[in-house]
Structure 1
Amino acid sequence: MLFELAISFATSMMAPVQKQQPQQAKSQIIYVKESKEPCTGVAPMECLQIKGLKDAEWSNLYTNINGFNYVPGYRYKLRIRVTPVKNPPADGSSVKYTLTKVLEKKKINSSATNAPATQWEQLADKRWELVQLGNNAVTNSGIFLEFDTKDKRFSGKSGCNNIFGGYKATGKLVSFSQVASTLMACPDRDVMRREGEFNTIVSDHSFRYEVTGQTLRLYDAKGKVALVFNLTPKENKTAGKDAPDARQWAYIASKKWNLIQFDGKTLTESGVWLEFDPATKRFHGKGGCNNISGGYDATREQLTFSAAISTRMACPNPEVMQREAAFLQKISEHTFRYDVADQTLNLYENDKLVVMFGMQDK
């Protein structure tokens, strides 16, 4: 077998001997396959596939062959020297492989060689929504990634914040780098906790990936499922809808909008208000206690808020804090049908009025 030399070295060292003899390097002829395969050593990696003259199956080589310049797409026949390593490190090989001579180099024309790259390219221009984090299934996570295979960049949402960075995909491995995110503080603690866990798993880590149908799975260094994504349609908020009425939004932008009705309850002096800037598609205001802000997108009939961010002051009135948290949760990442009637801005869900703002001059 391929590793009989390494095994014999280890066995001879374990056997009782009267006098220890220095181990000698031995020569061996092996084949090297035209493509690498994903494997897991200290971390996910890609291994050369090798076998001996009498071997039927290919095996992973978790180390390098010194002096060998591997080129994918070619099958090699090599003569190598196998040398035992004295006192190898715990995570290192007990033998060293050194190229003696390239006996044969043959071009292999196989569509399978390019299959991994083609599979990764299938992820481009699609939205992949998180449905499993570690061992836990998640629903409506608000976490998704999109990949730009041309620039080798990714972007998306990690629940509350926008996330982005670079990646490198080789074979069946993908490595994420320079991962960064915005720093909004969202009111839902579970969302923030899950976001932190997701960012920790992704940041500067490598995974073996697998695409099956409309599911993308990422496996960690131990071969366990770390993240599972499902393919979901990209949002196209303006497709099939009219553009927003410019004159109407000029009016909305010129006013301050105070919250006067929320989930069926009429409010007086709520302390909650919003102002809109159509030029930047941003809003800002007060949640009752804290300053709040975020982005929005509008069509002629729909108003969609991005995740609202807020300062993190703790006000003494618990009722104000509860209403602020409920208001932020209601508008964050939500789409409403809206209209402007008389002096009110009204937001509807399923044709039910859920939020009403009263107009006030700035």
Structure 2
Amino acid sequence: MNLRRVVYSIFYSTAILALAACSKPAPEQSDPAPLETGGKILYVGPTMTDCVGVASMTCLMVKGAPEDDYQMFYDSIKGFDYVPGYEYKLRVEVTERENVPEDASKLVYALVEVAGKKKAGRALEDSTWELKDQTGVGIAFQDGKASGHAGVNRYFGSYALDGSALTVGRIGSTRMAGPQKAMDQEKQFLEKLAQVAEYKMVGKELRLIDGTGQVVLVFSPGKPLGLTSVTWKATGVNNGRGGVVSILAGTEIIAKFDASGTLSGSGGCNNYTGGYELEGERLRVGALGQTRKMCARPEGIMEQESNYFQALEHAAKYRIDGKMLELRSEKGSLLVKFVVKEP
């Protein structure tokens, strides 16, 4: 009897446990890990960044959703012609390689559709650009015309854009003479400019690249300057005979336009002060008061100063290009050329 009760008790307990197990909800299954292959949306940023793969390279900045942070993207996207200065929304197809080359990604990205494109950040044609590590040299691209200051002379030419491909046409320039070192640097700059075949925006830099893939020129964004925000140093003055000549070695001509309408500075020998008026890009300089010193050296300094004061008297227009200021006559003749005086 006791044995029968023990067996019955064991059977009953086992049945209860079995029923309890059947009544429990099944454990929740975690979502499967997202597949790496298939269709994807990628957001591509307006600039590239320096990165290191097998070697030093530049990478696109990519994210998977608008709220995400951009990440370096070491692969390429087949069929995507990236142009800096735009933010893209792309539909891409991602497939896996069967035979993965050494040091290559196992995934292949191919463009399906450019689903969105909008201007973002700084574009090639939106700014003036200053050559890194060389003061007073810059470039601007606008409406098919490239122009700027090469160090001694202004230059000008045409350019053509096709995606990120960039070519600069025949370059012309003014014909002023300067110190030999400056003239050599100017020649090298213009020669490199003629070799450009492509451009990239990497961080805040504009990089111009030749046909072999080598970076030949690197620029930083030019800071927009106002007439009154800096002190200007003349680099050339009209000699009164139709030509602008370089400033005599050992002399310095300074102009400071303050916000109250006062113009002051040095003509090279004498200090001067007077008033000026602005209306848009038009400029009129009033009568100037001057000190009355006579300077004997260097030879020609007094003639240079006289030419400068006459140029101010005839100024009717001004133009700022990067760190350069030009004063021109009513008919457009160049009268004085300045650069920012560095501290």
Normalising by structure 1, we get a TM-score of 0.40
Greater gyration radius: 2
Normalising by structure 2, we get a TM-score of 0.42
